[in-house]
Chains A and B, each alone.
Chain A
Amino acid sequence: MTATESPERRSMGDRVYDAIFTNRLWRSIFRSGYPNTPRNQMLAVATNVFLHLHPTRIHRTHVKITHTFCLGGLSFFLFLGLTISGVLLMFYYVPSVERAYEDILALETDVRFGQLMRNMHRWMAHGMVLTVLMHMMRVFYTGAYKPPREFNWVVGVVLLVLTLLLSFTGYLLPWDQLALWAITVGTNMVGSAPLLGEPNRFVLVGGFQVGQSALIRFYTLHVIGLPLMAAVFMTVHFWRIRRDGGLARPL
């Protein structure tokens, strides 16, 4: 699979091309050459674990931006961005009532790019709630929930709930007045359910009011429990898109 059909007259460009894309290191990683022929383009998608989320071919209407507005993809993109910025924030943040607020202050003043990291994490979090809601609307208005995609719609609803919970648990972490009282109002809503409401609120908050136990519970859910669940459901979501025959098409 060299670039030229007649190896006798290879130009400089061909030599460089072959040196980069046919050597043993490249081949050990990517299996196929640079995707410049239809065959290699399909191989590139089919043999790469990340690109393999896609089929190798796709209907032309689905490539139009106005069909999906990239909203599902953007939700996923924001999830990845939140994971990366979130890990960086975890380097500086200790989930304790004594330290949390000071850590955020220090992040904003002492840590290089700390304020930027926090801002990005916050805006991406708000953005993800919006893109997920809008993605749901685009799926609805394109009638893409209909059989055989019913179950993937249900998986989507679970992802919506997980997205809201991720955002809600993160809201408490800065431990400022906004955080404390928003979570107090929110968890009190849970507490108002008949019979099981108050016990549930107690488990969620870990006490009668939002304090250290609530902070550590929300933190743990926010950085590991909920992201793991979201990742699992996203895996199912993407898998199902392909199993259901790609994006919905008019019959």
Chain B
Amino acid sequence: MAAANTQPVAASRAVEARKRRQREEELLVWPDLVFIEFISAVLFTVLIVALAVLVDAILLDRANPAVTPNPSKAPWYFLNLQELLLHMHPALAGVIVPTVALIALGAIPYWDNTAEGQGEWLSTPRAWLNTYVGAGVGSVGTLLLILFDDAQHAKMWEKLTGTDWPIPALRNLRAIQNEIPWPESWLKVPLGDKLLRTDLLGLPKISLNVNIPGLIVEQIIPISTMVGLPILLSIVAWKAKIAQTKRDHMILQFSGFIAVYVTLTIIGTYMRGEGLALVPYTIFAGDH
């Protein structure tokens, strides 16, 4: 009887105490927050005006559809996609990857719905470790893949030994399609017009022919890489006890994603020159 009585009282006391403590931890928005906002607004106004006085926005020659600049580049925040475009099927790089990436980004809170590590910077035990590992693997991995597709390993070999790269099929990704004697019948596998019923949409019928080596190089290998490597990373990190909780894996993957995004953007911006070859480049170079 006594126990049944004290229980709710104790609970309500705890609630009281928590409320009071919380109130003491709170500040008034005016002045404590409003002034910070005001000062940072002033600071950034000054900063932007200063930047605008010192550095002029770029303006090249009048647009001319007849003269294609070499290289032609998308705005910088899309250069990561343009970089992907060099290594896989355009539909994959230009549409499917960004769509899937955005959906995955939006789905983060629905995967990791634990309360762990909420409201504080990297507060869980292995948070920093997973950030470093994810960012390290993401950036170095991206760099290595790009160097591979640029045949840097083969060029290095040729420079060092003076002989041809011994495995022509592994010169870069495209070589898998071009340097392997695929059976003739694999280059054009007819699937007919029953697979894509575009006629139902009132569009012309499409007779599908599949080039299997092309499919492997442009789609299967890139997709396996982009899906497989992150999964592999999570498995290895899990086995190595680096990532143990959902939040750990989330930090690992997100950090990896950001690192890949930044690496691709930097390479697309500063390392793609004429013909999108892998050479140092700046938009302000040359005669504009």
Interface positions of A (Cβ within 8 A of B): 35, 38, 41-42, 44-45, 51, 54-63, 65-67, 70, 73-74, 77-78, 81, 97, 101, 104-105, 108, 115-116, 118-124, 127, 129, 137, 140-147, 149-150, 153-154, 157, 161, 164, 167-168, 171, 174-182, 184-186, 188-190, 192-195, 197, 209-211, 247-251
Given that A119-B57, A145-B108, A185-B82 are contacting pairs, would A192 and B115 also be in contact in the complex, using a CB cutoff of 8 Å? Answer: no
Q: Which residue of B lies closest to A126 (CB)?
A: B76
Those 10 A-B pairs whose CB atoms lie nearest each other, nearest first: A189-B94, A192-B90, A119-B52, A150-B109, A180-B63, A248-B119, A193-B95, A122-B57, A181-B72, A143-B117
Which residues of chain B come closer than 8 Å to A104, judged between CB atoms? 59
A43 to chain B, nearest CB (A): 9
Tell me how far the C-beta of B114 lies from the nearest C-beta in chain A, rounded to whole angstroms: 7
- Residues of chain B contacted by A81 (CB below 8 angstroms): 45, 48
A140 touches B27 (CB 8 A): no
Interface of A is mostly: helix
In the complex, are the beta carbons of A192 and B57 less than 8 A apart?
A: no
A55 close to B60 (CB less than 8 A): no
Residue contact A250 to B113, C-beta cutoff 8 Å? no
Pair count A-B, CB < 8 A: 235
Task: Please tell me which stretch of B5-13, B32-40, B184-192, B229-237 contacts chain A, meaning at least 4 of its Cβ atoms lie within 8 angstroms of it.
Answer: B32-40
B73 CB contacts on chain A under 8 angstroms: 181-182, 185
Evaluate contact between B48 and A124: CB separation under 8 angstroms. yes
Among the listed stretches B120-128, B151-159, B162-170, B174-182, which one makes contact with chain A, having 4 or more residues with CB under 8 Å of it? B120-128
CB atoms of B74 and A189 under 8 A apart: yes
Known: A143-B123, A177-B67, A248-B118. A118 touches B57 (CB 8 A): yes
Residue B116 lies at the interface, judged by CB distance under 8 Å to chain A: yes
Q: Tell me the nearest residue of chain A to B35, going by C-beta.
A: A63
Specify which chain A residues have a CB less than 8 angstroms from the CB of B96 in the assembled complex: 193
A249 with B119, Cβ < 8 A, contacts A147-B113, A185-B72 known: yes
Nearest Cβ on chain A to B128's Cβ, whole angstroms: 10
Is B254 an interface residue, CB under 8 A from the partner? yes
| Closest CB in chain A relative to B35 CB, distance in Å | 10
- Identify 17 residue pairs between A and B in the complex whose beta-carbon atoms are under 8 Å apart, listed by A's number: A45-B30, A45-B34, A57-B26, A63-B36, A124-B48, A144-B119, A171-B75, A175-B62, A175-B63, A176-B60, A177-B63, A178-B59, A185-B82, A189-B74, A189-B81, A209-B65, A249-B118
